[in-house]
């Protein structure tokens, strides 16, 4: 039996959730989305995800057509319709159908749809052993062209980097900005640990301000680990004691080798493992109940 999807104001079987070939989300990547997780019957960090969705909409002047409160109910009800207590939720807002030109003013009404299903980005063994990643030639978009803080439907920059990672036989890639500073991975934020200090690139370097990223920084402060948002290069990654990635789908996953250089002792570090434990505990209590 297939999924039930929220689609343009109705809950329908997934086979009936069909997007027009004239939708500008399909034609031009003109739209926004959020990837959200549900754990133990709660939707984790839902308010933060919806705040980011509506901020993205404001920047690209997209009228969602629903209040944040209405959108929260859409997310929760989609989980209920599918009897899901643990889920990956994809919430999408497109510009809607228009003509074959670029002009968003030709799109009379946005389209909202919400999917709740399962996801496993990486096998469990990689959380225990850690990832090997490489730096790729593709640079992260500059903010003046397409600001990475907008979680838009246009992910071709990330996909190009993902292709390059796959060609080298690794599951993820490190992306630099135009100045050569570490920005983020193709779908995750990047952290390094040096001594008792947790370091991640600042927002202005050209990254998506991740919900899991911000959660991890809060958890680290609670553990009395120093937290800094500052510029760093691959040199700092290579010489770090620990490295890990964060994202809604990935959660917190250790990185043990970058560009052939072993990070730390080549195993997931103590700080990383403590953060994974704290994060998983938080998912049991945070967020509105389904």
Q: How many helices (H) and strands (E) does the chain have?
A: 9, 15
For the chain, the first-to-last Cα distance in angstroms comes to 21
Token output for 35: 């990837």
Token output for 179: 């100045």
Which residues, in sequence order, are CB contacts of 224 under 8 Å at separation 6+? none
Is-catalytic flag, 151? Answer: yes
CA 158 from centre of chain: 11
Rounded Cα gap, residues 165 and 163, in angstroms = 5
Rounded Cα gap, residues 98 and 140, in angstroms = 30
Which of 106, 151, 197, 228 is the catalytic position?
151
Which residues, in sequence order, are CB contacts of 128 under 8 Å at separation 6+? 268
Q: Write down the residue that tokens 């999917």 correspond to.
A: 115
Token output for 156: 């071709």
Active site residues: 151
């Amino acid at each position: 039996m297939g999924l039930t999807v929220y689609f343009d104001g109705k809950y329908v079987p997934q086979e009936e959730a069909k997007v027009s070939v004239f939708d500008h989300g399909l034609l031009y990547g003109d739209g926004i989305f959020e990837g959200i997780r549900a754990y133990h019957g709660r939707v984790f960090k839902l308010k933060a995800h919806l705040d980011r969705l509506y901020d993205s909409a404001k920047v690209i002047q997209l009228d969602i057509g629903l209040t944040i409160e209405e959108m929260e109910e859409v997310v929760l009800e989609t989980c209920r319709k599918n009897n899901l207590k643990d889920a990956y939720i994809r919430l999408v807002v497109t510009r809607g159908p228009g003509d074959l030109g670029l002009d968003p003013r030709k799109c009379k009404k946005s389209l909202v749809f919400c999917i709740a299903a399962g996801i496993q980005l990486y096998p469990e063994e990689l959380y225990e052993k850690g990832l090997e990643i490489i730096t790729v030639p593709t640079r992260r978009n500059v903010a003046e062209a397409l600001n990475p803080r907008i979680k838009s439907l246009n992910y071709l920059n990330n996909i190009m980097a993902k292709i390059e990672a796959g060609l080298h036989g690794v599951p993820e890639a490190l992306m630099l900005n135009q100045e050569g500073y570490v920005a983020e991975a193709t779908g995750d934020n990047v952290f390094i640990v040096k001594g008792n200090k947790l370091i991640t690139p600042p927002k202005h370097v050209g990254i998506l301000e991740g919900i899991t990223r911000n959660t991890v920084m809060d958890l680290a402060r609670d553990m009395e680990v120093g937290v800094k948002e500052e510029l760093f290069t691959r040199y700092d990654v290579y010489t770090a004691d620990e490295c890990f990635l964060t994202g809604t789908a990935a959660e917190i996953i250790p990185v043990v080798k970058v560009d052939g250089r072993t990070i730390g002792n080549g195993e997931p570090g103590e700080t990383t493992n403590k953060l994974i434990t704290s994060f998983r505990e938080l998912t049991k209590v945070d967020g509105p109940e389904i």
